[in-house]
Chain A
Amino acid sequence: MGGILDGIRVMDFTRWQQGPSCTIILSDMGAEVWKIEALEGDPARRITKYAWDDPGPNQGIDKAYFLGLNRNKKSIAVNLKHPLAKEVILKMAEIADVCVHNFRQGVMKRLGLGYEELCQRNPKIIYAAGSGYGRKGPRRSHPAFDLAAQAMSGIMSLTGEKEGYPLHVGAAIADQTGGTHLALGILAALYYRERTGVGQQLDISLLGGQIFLQSWEIDMYTVTGESTTTGGRFNPYTTGIYAVYKAKDKYFVIGGVWPEQWEGLCRALEMPQLADDPRFSTPSARAQNHDELTSILDKIFLEKTADEWLHILAELDIIAAPVYTHAEVVNDPQVLENGYIWEDDHPTLGRIKVAGFPIEFSKTPAKIQRPPPRLGEHTEEILLTLGYSKADIEGFKSQKAVR
């Protein structure tokens, strides 16, 4: 069989990252995604290295930001404010399964494209919205970006050196998590519709997604009332051997040492006397004397390379890993063998590697079917699908309703 979502049509009004990171999931799984862009295109087409630039003749399809978020989609460029274009969109709703947007609250309604309007054409449609702060509450119509959601959610209050600024995560995790939740919601709604015939609305936000990422830590606060702060290279919640360490050449982490592994670890570190040292002989003693233990370990770990230590720790079945740079990640056999990085042929860049898909399905794998679209590349094709004639399409173009 083909793609998982073969035959599912998605009207995709999303821009920037949170929304497109949702619809790329749907398109990787085989849905036909109609990326509905304004005549000047998704602003993400303009993001080049650091800057906000003219997208150039390739309209961003060769730039990392747009390329990474828009493969497998079809682009239709329309003037959303033109009455002719509005009719085109409502006609799309008649044969679409899903409509997704990440406009600020009220924008779709003002355009005459709210849930009710689309439902009139297609009551089974699934109408999904991604926002910054959620559908309700005092900040519901504030503008938001990844960083703002990381700050509001508390995740920055746990990240950073003990003395110093709270730090955000270096990657746009709020956008990516929000996009994933939006896709998960759409899939659950599709499944429900398949069983009952009922469509519905759903919404998610960057803020809600970030809070979800911290379920345990936030429950820990709400249940105990104890607030936690940044732990620097240590985890704010554990006083075990669960931290970043520095080897002779580079950094690595140890993700916990079980009580039964302690003696073996001491032997492997050539410090057998530590095993019976009353300061460290039990987990609670090690927690109490955490600073002392850390300074001993720090000194020892400097004596060998990270690879040597990782080999030693693996022999003991102790959880440990290198702190990889992005260059190391994309060349790591573990990453490549599992298909987390994909290779593809791109029309202007040739053979390229891109961040892939995290789920492996045994019978219906996700895959790349086409490169990211140029602006309006599929306008004509989609209008023909909707039943418009070539002459109609020329008329729309001359009236600047579509591009």
Chain B
Amino acid sequence: MNLPLEGIKVLDFTQFQQGPYATLLLADMGAEVWKVEKPGSGDLGRGIGSTNAPPEIYANYFFTFNRNKKSVVVDIKKPLGKEVVYRLAEKADVCVNNFRPGVMESLGFSYEDLARRNSRLIYAAASGFGPKGPKRARPVTDLAAQAMGGLMSITGEVEGYPLSVGSCIADQMGATSLAWGIVTALFVRERTGIGQQVEGSLLGSQIVLQAWEFNQYLRTRELKTKAGRHHPLIPGIYGSFKAKDRYFVIAGVKEEHWQDFCRLLDIPHLVEDPRFDSAEKRRQNQEELIDILDPIFATKEIKEWLEILESLEIICAPVNTYKEVAEEPQVLENEYICNIPHPELGEVQVIGLPIKFSKTPGQVQGLAPALGQHTREVLLQAGYGEEEITELRRQKVIP
């Protein structure tokens, strides 16, 4: 066995992003993912974004979230289609969905329905706002979760709209939590033989992303608001600055670095300046200090500033655009972005697995499947014979 989840079979009903990225993490770690899609449109994520290539395979939203998976098209509203799902559930280790609460039940695929066929099954559900509570059945997207979770209230310019993060971090973090729950439940099952239900949501994951900030609020009951380019909880030299050519960040200047910092910025008089001669005062007089620093940073290019700051072991970094990230040696050497072959586009860069295992590295490979590409193959695996498959086709249960 060369992969952490080798041999594990996942019955995957997920669509869009939160669910598919959870099952992609499982697939990258070696699980065989059977992506069950409806005839016609398939996963609605297939329609989002597009490149010049045929949308059914290359729409890059779908491409991002579905590599390494097998696509099985089944009409799950027909009785024979339901039977297909039950038979797949018998062979599966994990079932995942991100339908709204109640949908799986109404399809006849509740935990009880499937556990009756396979008591060891791990049954995972991803939701927007959690399985309980007054908003449990509301439709949700990433933006709604960023808003409800409080993250937007501390992000943005001081005077201005609360801002969302420009990328779908709620979906991605929701996916990670769900994958973590599934792997944990697999571990429990290996030790005890018990299958169970696992629930993860966008809202819960957003709260965990802010564990410190929430606990700070809960202890002090002081509400922080947006701090623009600075940090709502860490006043001082902690935020973004503009060099002659581009932006960079400084993540704090320690007390023992203050003197050298002033010397290297050619402002030695500030060392003794009573407005700034202690960390506490630099926090109190942050605005004045930043007003002094901004014109200084505008005099040199980022490369020079980073060298100067790094010589003091001050934590700093460039504010990269995606172009710069995709070219950054640090990113490429660690394979956070890696190349995979593509039949028409040649080599394409994709996001790698963020976890590096020494003995069981993941498998970042394969394209997203065409709709229904593996229907027959997976049905054969589930024990269907050729004649039965032909009959399912004739009855339009599968294409």
| Neighbour of B144 across the interface among A172, A182, A321, CB < 8 A | A321
Chain B residues positioned under 8 Å from A110 (CB to CB): none
Q: Which secondary structure dominates chain A's binding surface?
A: mixed
The verdict on B156 contacting chain A, using a C-beta distance below 8 Å, is: yes
B231 touches A147 (CB 8 A): yes
| Neighbour of B147 across the interface among A228, A322, A338, CB < 8 A | A322
Chain B residues positioned under 8 Å from A340 (CB to CB): 130, 203-204, 207
Q: Mark B37-78, 1 if CB is under 8 A from A, else 0.
A: 000000000000101000000101101110000000000000
Whether A327 contacts B217 in the complex (CB less than 8 A), given A157-B322, A356-B207, comes out as yes
The verdict on A69 contacting chain B, using a C-beta distance below 8 Å, is: yes
Report the stretch among A73-81, A268-276, A358-366, A381-389 that lies at the interface. Answer: A358-366
Interface residues of B in 207-261 (CB under 8 A from A): 207-221, 223-229, 231-235, 238-240, 242, 247-249, 251-252, 255
B234 touches A358 (CB 8 A): no
Report the stretch among A32-40, A88-96, A218-226, A394-402 that lies at the interface. Answer: A218-226
Whether A65 contacts B212 in the complex (CB less than 8 A), given A152-B317, A330-B218, comes out as yes
A152 touches B330 (CB 8 A): yes
B180 touches A184 (CB 8 A): yes
A176 touches B208 (CB 8 A): yes
Complex Cα distance A22/B380, Å? Answer: 41
B354 touches A216 (CB 8 A): no
Residue of B nearest to A145 (CB): B251
Complex Cα distance A182/B351, Å? Answer: 17
The verdict on A299 contacting chain B, using a C-beta distance below 8 Å, is: no
Give min CB distance, A113 to chain B, whole Å. Answer: 17
Interface residues of B in 153-209 (CB under 8 A from A): 153-157, 160-169, 172-173, 176-181, 183-188, 190-192, 194, 196-201, 203-205, 207-209
Q: Which secondary structure dominates chain B's binding surface?
A: mixed
A159 touches B165 (CB 8 A): yes
Give min CB distance, B69 to chain A, whole Å. Answer: 15
Complex Cα distance A166/B167, Å? Answer: 14
Chain B residues positioned under 8 Å from A353 (CB to CB): 218
B151 touches A169 (CB 8 A): yes
B208 touches A355 (CB 8 A): yes
| Neighbour of B160 across the interface among A161, A318, A332, CB < 8 A | A161
Complex Cα distance A314/B140, Å? Answer: 11
Q: Could you pull out 9 A-B pairs where Cβ atoms are within 8 angstroms?
A: A67-B215, A160-B163, A170-B153, A195-B190, A215-B21, A219-B64, A251-B147, A324-B148, A341-B214
A136 touches B334 (CB 8 A): yes
Most buried by B among A191, A205, A224: A191
Complex Cα distance A206/B355, Å? Answer: 11
| Number of residue pairs A-B, CB distance < 8 angstroms | 531
B196 touches A361 (CB 8 A): yes
Interface residues on B, range: 35 or more
Complex Cα distance A148/B317, Å? Answer: 5
Chain A residues positioned under 8 Å from B320 (CB to CB): 151-154, 157
Q: Mark A80-103, 1 if CB is under 8 A from B, else 0.
A: 000000000000000000000000
The verdict on B117 contacting chain A, using a C-beta distance below 8 Å, is: no
Residue of A nearest to B213 (CB): A171
Report the stretch among B264-272, B356-364, B384-392 that lies at the interface. Answer: B356-364
Residue of A nearest to B161 (CB): A233
Interface residues of B in 76-122 (CB under 8 A from A): 111
The verdict on B323 contacting chain A, using a C-beta distance below 8 Å, is: yes
The verdict on A235 contacting chain B, using a C-beta distance below 8 Å, is: yes
B167 touches A200 (CB 8 A): no
| Neighbour of B167 across the interface among A139, A147, A214, A356, CB < 8 A | A214
Give min CB distance, B325 to chain A, whole Å. Answer: 4
Q: Mark B130-144, 1 if CB is under 8 A from A, else 0.
A: 111111101111111
Interface residues of A in 207-251 (CB under 8 A from B): 207-209, 211-224, 227-233, 235-237, 242-244, 246, 251
Residue of B nearest to A67 (CB): B215
The verdict on B310 contacting chain A, using a C-beta distance below 8 Å, is: yes
The verdict on A4 contacting chain B, using a C-beta distance below 8 Å, is: yes
Residue of B nearest to A172 (CB): B212
Residue of A nearest to B314 (CB): A143
Complex Cα distance A49/B329, Å? Answer: 37
